[in-house]
Each structure stands twice: as structure tokens, then as C-alpha cells.
Amino acid sequence: MQIRFTPDGSRDIGSGWERAWQAGRVDLATLTANDLRYGFFEYPVDFTVDGHAFLAAADTPLVDLMFTVGHSLHGLRTEGAATIDFTENTYVIRLELVGDRVRFTASHDAPAPAPGCPLDTYACEARRFVTDGVEYLERQHPALSRNPAMAALRALAGVRATPGCPATPGAAPRSGPCPR
């Protein structure tokens, strides 16, 4: 199980925002969550489970995916199911809790049998992805650290900490693997 993004500074500012950005009229600290989710930081993302690439270097709005992945944890715990969907297309990744494992299916190109992983592994990887994304974006653009949307993402990454998960606040450094 792996969710990773590849930063691309040339994709930080979405179309329609270039002139305002260059003129210094964009304050990342005050942009709405929707603007951050759909207008900025579109990076290649890899999302792989059991060797199946649900996303393979797909250009994806990073903040939107971080929110969706973060919220999927709550859906799995409260309803036993969740989805990761994309505003820019009809592709959907469905997550279903079966015992203590998460089963992943997709709206198209879904392998059989459906790949899966332990819930603890998904929770750890999801939190790592969100934490790494927030830390990267705030390091590159310090004004983001004052944006309420980033605070919401930090809260998503810190809730119901999984013991031993390297992304858990106060836990070991993230160099180690998530539980398998």
C-alpha cells in the first residue's frame, strides 16, 4: 500500500490564477478550502495497493486528494465504507472494510480479486500522505500554515492515531514502514 506525490513547482498555481499570483494579489493564508482544493498544487500522485496502480503519476489536485483520503478514514471507521473520487473526472476508488482489512475497487480497470491491505496499514499510509503533503506545502509556501484549510488537514492526519504509525504526531520519524 502506497500513496505518494511528486512535487512539481511549475504546477503550484492553477490556470486562471497566474496573473493574480504574479501581481502579488494571492494570499495563500486567506484562500478558501475550495480554491486550494481545485485551483492549486496539481501534482503527479501514485496510489498503489497489492501491486495495482489505482493512480499512476496521475496529475491530481493534491489538497483535494489529501482531504478525500483523510475523510475516507472516518468513513471506514463509522460506516465500513468510503470513496475517493475526483472532481475532474468520473473515476472513483471504493474502499470497503471487510473484517480488519480494506478492500479497494475502482469504477474502471478494477483487478479481480480486489486488492486490499490491513486497516492499520491504510490508516498509517493515509495519515503519512496527508502529513507529508501538508508539511511540504507549508515549507514551500509558509503563508499556508495560517490557512484554516491546512489546519483542518493537520487535524485529519492526527485523529485516532494508529500506534507505531510514523505519521502519528509524536511518533517515531517517518523513515520506517507502516504496519503490514
Tell me the pTM: 0.86
Rg of the chain over Cα atoms, rounded to whole angstroms, equals 16
**Residue 93: Cβ within 10 Å count:** 21
Question: What band does 39 get if pLDDT is binned at 50, 70 and 90?
Answer: confident
Question: What band does 179 get if pLDDT is binned at 50, 70 and 90?
Answer: low
The pLDDT, as a whole number, for residue 136 is 96
pLDDT of 3 > 90? The answer is yes
